[in-house]
Chain A
Amino acid sequence: MRDNPVFSPGPGFYGRYRETEYVYARATSTVRDEPNIVLMGSRWVGKTELLLKVHEMLFRAQSAVAPVYYRFKGYGDALDLAEDFIKELIKQVVAFSRRDAGIGRMESSLDRLERLIMDGHSPDVGWLVKRYREARKSGDRVAALRNAMMAPHHLTNHTGLRVYLLLDDIHLAGSVRLYPDGPSVTGELVGALNSGAVSFAASAPPRRLPPGWTTDGRVEALTLGGLDRETSLSMMGELMRGYGLGFDTEVLEFAAVKLGRVPMYMKNLVWAARKSSQGLEDLKDFAGLYAREVTTGGLAFVFSSALTLGTTTELRVARFVARAGSSSIEEIEEAVLPGGGGLAAALDGLSRNGLVASNLGSVTWTGDGPTADFVEYLYRTRIEGATTEEAVSAIVDECLREGYRTRDDSTGASFTDQVLRALRAFDGQEVPEELLRGEYAPAGAGAAGPRPDASRTLELPELTGCFDSRRFERGEAGPPVFIARGFRKGRYDSSGEVVWLVMVKDSASPVNAGDVDNFTRRALSLARNLGSPGVVRVMTSRSGFTGEAMKKAEGLFAVDREGVTALEGILSAPAGPAPGHPAPGPGQEYEVVLPSSERAELVAARAAEEIASAMGFSEDAMGEIKAALVEACINAFEHGGLTGSRVRVKFVSRKGTLEIRVRNPGARFAGKTTTSASGGVSGELPRKRGWGIELMKSLMDDVRFERLGEGTETVLVKHLDGKEDTRDE
């Protein structure tokens, strides 16, 4: 006995245990008048797979109820539907009776089916064909359709074999006409199904049941959403492992959420990952893969096959409603069709596509997230004229922002932590200035009011320290302010010093006018205390800004959570030289001017580390350069004369050699070592002072002292290869 199911949900059917058991139990129940079932769920959520799974279970696990899976499709007219339905019914009942799945899968004409069932091994169903033929011959389409739809009932009465119908995409019957220009077949269909004589489970998208059909006591609606969290993770993880692809569970979890936990989407993404041998180990992996899938990949193909966005008006409206979530007719008209018409037709088209639902003057997006991104892609490329790369990039950005936000929410990281993390990543990068101007809205989001110039960029400082303002302003009320100090890129002197004063309002209420006044006053006082020539004032807020606050925030940067998240995304991108600001490299010079203050030599050490690192020096070599430079700076301050004098440090990098010139304007010094060795007598401790120059010479490849008109210049030289490597061996 061959007992393969006629149809199969395919490999990788996951979860839905409760639903499949529920439908299976209803199909096999002997209790009379139990309600039939309609599975309601958006496109691709897995309705078909569930019906096929139930079919498989019924086919394999019992013999009292013959399962018949029937998928509605496009037909010429009612007769085509009736004949197709009769054929499927006969084939699958015979297949079930004979336990021969091959019969259910074969393509057969009615003639061939008649011959098949006359072999004496099948239920007596020949009269069904005969009755259909009679109705067809008489041209009675209604009779032919009724006969077909009631056939399972008659078959049960005639043979004693119960039939359970699994009717997929029943809403598609709405487009079949009884005869050309006649009424839809749904009246007859609904009449038959509601008669109570036929048992079935049907599927349809939300709000797309055939007209006249209500989910009253005779039909029970079972809503199907995405898979649950555990099943989604297990499914994606299992598929990824099966393909030998690496992944991070957190990324997988975000991916599942982003894909609505819709099985088809999740499988598609994993297949795409497999195709490109791409793991899902960080958010960027997923964002890139996702954006490609919904724009030019497999999901985009599915969307473009299933959706008909025939006119630009439909596309504009779809995009507007997708972004708004829900909107009034007036708002759509004002934003999308000023002075134009065609909204009703567009809404009708979108509704047929299952993308929107209209009710009492309100329009709601009923598509899912990936479909919304597909619509966004179409809009950007077709209406705005963006290139595919630009549109994909925008979707990647948005996906990353959402991912970082989700990660922060799930890890409980506070907004304050997020701001500090972004601040500490400042390293001379350039970012779009619009990120720091008011509430951030992705380009093209349709935010109200004038938008800042998106092409302008802002250079972030190379950070040397970040701390809170408490010790500078005791007893001050208001949100915390953080002080981020650093240099403008490559300008390690006093004119390049810059301080960012960053207020953080990590609260459920937005920044209001009072907060702006508070920050403005405190920033003034802090700027005075810190004495830095360049001060940048920034307000950040977890919950945005009131209109009054934005009016008052003249001269201040204002960043909401979206903006901070976007900033984080940019700052976490792989480092590369910013346009117009090449990374320190051969043949470049930098200068740092050190004030005479505690630990000033460390500023020079940090600059040296930055430059040496960019040149490719090893960690050990960088340690030696820093230690030698610190000695040179201390020496320079020591001989610098008057308190308050400054020491200039110039870095010259060329052809694998770093030369550092430390210049003190005061008294000259000879640069002689005190002794050539440590403690004189064996066993005695070394002398305590006078080691500076000897240390410099031991740490660098070359150290020399050049006399200036006033003062001395210490020149430290380190080569990328050569001494520092051979000495260690």
Chain B
Amino acid sequence: MSNGANYRESEDCVVVYADNYINDIEGEKLEDMCDALLKKGYRKLVVDFSETDIINSIGVSILIGVIEKIKEKDCALSFSGLKKVNHNIFDVIGITRHVSVYPTEDEALGAQGAAPGPASPSPGTTVKA
């Protein structure tokens, strides 16, 4: 993995840390990272947005592509640490209907570890359909 994005392995899950600003370039980095991790055999991914202030519409479109790929491979994806404005953006676009969102990375990992796939939501989160 040498595309510059950060990630952390936790048992059979992996957490990818998103950049401060998700635009076309950073979105593609994130996409490449997820591709590489899927190829490596991981089936449970968490993307943590704790450090992300702004996600622009191009970044969103790339994230939708990532969700699409993970769905095709029947793997699990969840998001954590979304700031309120980014959560609103994902709500408006409808992403939160497809991806579990957790307040923290640990909660996302806990949910992934307990049962791959859709997990029980924490208060204030949305679960994919």
Decide: B92 and A698 in contact? CB cutoff 8 A: yes
Residues 574 to 633 of chain A near chain B (Cβ within 8 Å): 598-599, 601-602, 605, 620, 623-624, 626-627, 630-631
Docked pose: A631 CA to B25 CA in angstroms: 15
B54 within 8 Å of A (CB atoms): yes
B67 within 8 Å of A (CB atoms): yes
Decide: B56 and A630 in contact? CB cutoff 8 A: yes
A662 within 8 Å of B (CB atoms): no
Decide: A599 and B21 in contact? CB cutoff 8 A: yes
Chain A residues whose CB sits within 8 angstroms of the CB of B68 once the complex forms: 685
Specify the chain B residue showing the minimal Cβ separation from A698.
B92
B116 within 8 Å of A (CB atoms): no
Residues 4 to 33 of chain B near chain A (Cβ within 8 Å): 21, 23, 25
Least Cβ–Cβ distance between B49 and chain A, in angstroms: 12
Decide: B98 and A685 in contact? CB cutoff 8 A: yes
Specify the chain A residue showing the minimal Cβ separation from B62.
A688
Chain B residues whose CB sits within 8 angstroms of the CB of A695 once the complex forms: 57, 89, 92-93
The listed residue (B23, B83, B94) touching A686 by CB distance below 8 A is B94
Specify the chain A residue showing the minimal Cβ separation from B83.
A623
Docked pose: A623 CA to B88 CA in angstroms: 11
Contact count A vs B, C-beta below 8 Å = 73
Decide: B65 and A623 in contact? CB cutoff 8 A: no
Least Cβ–Cβ distance between B16 and chain A, in angstroms: 19
Docked pose: A348 CA to B8 CA in angstroms: 76
B120 within 8 Å of A (CB atoms): no
Specify the chain B residue showing the minimal Cβ separation from A691.
B57
Q: A688-B64, A698-B92 are in contact. Are A620 and B85 (CB under 8 A)?
A: yes
A526 within 8 Å of B (CB atoms): no
Docked pose: A602 CA to B53 CA in angstroms: 11
Specify the chain A residue showing the minimal Cβ separation from B93.
A686
Chain A residues whose CB sits within 8 angstroms of the CB of B58 once the complex forms: 634
Decide: B85 and A627 in contact? CB cutoff 8 A: yes
Least Cβ–Cβ distance between A288 and chain B, in angstroms: 38
B115 within 8 Å of A (CB atoms): no
Chain B residues whose CB sits within 8 angstroms of the CB of A679 once the complex forms: 94
Decide: B93 and A627 in contact? CB cutoff 8 A: no
Which of B58, B83, B95 is packed against the most chain A CB atoms within 10 Å? B58
B129 within 8 Å of A (CB atoms): yes
* Number of residues on chain B facing chain A (CB within 8 A): 29
Decide: B84 and A682 in contact? CB cutoff 8 A: no
Docked pose: A678 CA to B93 CA in angstroms: 6
The listed residue (A623, A685, A686) touching B53 by CB distance below 8 A is A623
B61 within 8 Å of A (CB atoms): yes
Q: A620-B85, A685-B67, A699-B85 are in contact. Are A626 and B53 (CB under 8 A)?
A: yes
Least Cβ–Cβ distance between A492 and chain B, in angstroms: 18
Decide: B93 and A624 in contact? CB cutoff 8 A: no
Docked pose: A683 CA to B97 CA in angstroms: 8
Chain B residues whose CB sits within 8 angstroms of the CB of A687 once the complex forms: 64
Q: A599-B21, A605-B54, A678-B94 are in contact. Are A620 and B64 (CB under 8 A)?
A: no
Docked pose: A689 CA to B95 CA in angstroms: 13
Decide: B88 and A698 in contact? CB cutoff 8 A: yes
Docked pose: A691 CA to B92 CA in angstroms: 9
Least Cβ–Cβ distance between A268 and chain B, in angstroms: 50
Decide: A627 and B64 in contact? CB cutoff 8 A: no
Chain B residues whose CB sits within 8 angstroms of the CB of A699 once the complex forms: 85, 88-89
Docked pose: A209 CA to B98 CA in angstroms: 90
Chain B residues whose CB sits within 8 angstroms of the CB of A623 once the complex forms: 53-54, 83-86
Decide: A692 and B57 in contact? CB cutoff 8 A: yes
Least Cβ–Cβ distance between B85 and chain A, in angstroms: 4
Specify the chain B residue showing the minimal Cβ separation from A692.
B57
Decide: B92 and A694 in contact? CB cutoff 8 A: yes
Least Cβ–Cβ distance between A700 and chain B, in angstroms: 12
Decide: A686 and B56 in contact? CB cutoff 8 A: no
Mask, A546-584, CB within 8 Å of B = 1, is: 000000000000000000000000000000000000000
Docked pose: A694 CA to B71 CA in angstroms: 26
Across the A-B interface, give the 10 residue pairs with the lowest CB-CB distance, nearest first: A678-B94, A623-B85, A688-B61, A691-B57, A686-B94, A692-B57, A698-B92, A688-B64, A686-B93, A620-B84
| 7 CB-based A-B contacts, threshold 8 Å | A623-B83, A627-B54, A627-B89, A631-B56, A686-B95, A691-B60, A695-B57
Apart from A598-B25, A677-B94, 15 more pairs, CB < 8 Å = A599-B21, A602-B21, A602-B54, A623-B53, A623-B86, A626-B53, A634-B56, A678-B93, A685-B64, A685-B71, A689-B57, A691-B92, A691-B93, A692-B57, A698-B92
Name B residues whose Cβ lies closer than 8 Å to a Cβ of A: 21, 23, 25, 53-58, 60-61, 64-65, 67-68, 71, 83-86, 88-89, 92-95, 97-98, 129
